Amino acid sequence: MRFMAMDAPGAAPLPECCVCGGSSLPSEGLFCSPPAGQPPHFTCAECLGNDVAALAAERAAAGGAQAGRGAAGGGDDDAAAAVFGMRCRGPGAAGCRGARPFSDASLCAVLPPEPLKAAIAAQIAARQAAQARQLDAGFQGQLLPLQQRLAEAEARAGRVDELRAFVVDRLLAPACPHCHRFIGGFTGCFALQCGLLDDGRVHPELGCGTGICAWCFAECGQDAHAHVRGCEFKLSGDVYHGTEAMYQEALKRRRIRRLREYRRGLEHGLWRALRLALLRFLEDNPGGMEGVADELQQLV
């Protein structure tokens, strides 16, 4: 799945994928290394994932007989030495036949976890079929790295799912900072209390009674009024009250602040996979998250 990125004013244009024609960040795809005098082609991560999956399925169907063939052009020593053996297949792909295939390391760096895991699993199946027929003495040396990469891809995919759930439930949702229960039903007063009923009582099955500032969702003991009076993030001139629109704007700004803070604590590869997972989630669940997807598009 590819997401279009907007060019900043005065910035160099984003590269266009030679397969699908869409624009992507240079870090979310690969440039080929064509022969001298030929311009390089750019392929986005989504199209690379599709090509890798299709080539792996073809090899699996052939029982591993085609292992080492490039996606464009015939096989050679470079492609045979690689796990994927993927080549550029852009316009005028005949001009890329003299180029080396994409390295396994570069493909693993840009492919999302799920396509990478599926492709490696298909490659393992193809190699296992070839082993059964050929009894290749050197095959075990190739199978072990594949199994290790599959285990790493599965662990990474599971880690990304955990982080996505944490970000959605703890950073994006309006939840109590103490017990993490969802806070709903804004009535105009920005001094909230977790589990507070209309009659002024706190229901223990609905909340913990913690006072919460609706401007910034700070934990404020049992009464948030003192904090709300001087909250640095308030948008209203009133001491305690504001409109629903102000509340939604405050939620959006808080989500953006927390995403930026969280991004700083993750290594780039893990953030890139998490960012794509969050964009997919927001595409399927857009309600109440206005502005978050736009921020994620820019937060690379």
Task: Determine which of 61-75, 155-169, 216-230 has the lowest per-residue pLDDT on average.
Answer: 61-75
DSSP class of 90: -
Give pLDDT, residue 245. Answer: 92
Nearest one of 38, 39, 17, 42 to 30, comparing CA atoms? 42
Report the pLDDT averaged over residues 190-196: 90
C-beta separation of 299 from 263 below 8 A: yes
Average pLDDT over residues 124-151: 68
pLDDT in tens, 84-137: 777 887 766 455 666 678 888 888 888 877 777 777 777 777 777 767 766 555
**Bridge partners, 196 (sequence order):** 202
Question: pLDDT at residue 150 above 90?
Answer: no
With a cut of 60, say whether residue 296 has pLDDT above it. yes
Please say if the pLDDT value at position 138 is more than 80: no
pLDDT tens readout for residues 5-43: 444 555 678 899 988 889 988 888 999 888 777 888 899
pLDDT at 270: 84
Q: pLDDT averaged over the chain?
A: 79
Question: 149 or 95, which is more confident?
Answer: 149
Confidence check: pLDDT of 211 > 80 = yes
pLDDT of residue 227: 96
**At 131, is the secondary structure helix, strand, or coil?**
helix
Per-residue pLDDT at 3 exceeds 70 = no
- pLDDT digit string (tens) for 274-284? 888 888 888 88
Angle at 204 between CA 199 and CA 205, to 5 degrees: 105
Detail the DSSP E strand segments found in 99-182: none
Q: Is 224 exposed, middle or buried (0-12, 13-18, 19+ CB in 10 A)?
A: buried
Name the phi and psi angles at 2, rounded to 5.
-115, 145
Q: 212-239 pLDDT, tens per residue? A: 999 999 999 999 999 999 999 999 889 9
- pLDDT (average), residues 44-58: 81
pLDDT(74) > 80: no
What per-residue confidence (pLDDT) applies to 178?
92
- Phi, psi for 189 (deg, rounded to 5): -90, 130
Tell me the C-alpha distance between 247 and 98, whole Å.
59
pLDDT confidence band for 72 (50 / 70 / 90): very low
Q: What is the pLDDT of residue 75?
A: 46
* Residue 81, pLDDT above cutoff 50: no
Can you tell me the mean pLDDT for 62-90?
55
* Predicted confidence (pLDDT) per residue in 247-266, tens digit: 999 999 999 899 999 888 88
What is the rounded CA–CA span in Å between residue 245 and residue 11? 34
pLDDT of residue 78 exceeding 70: no
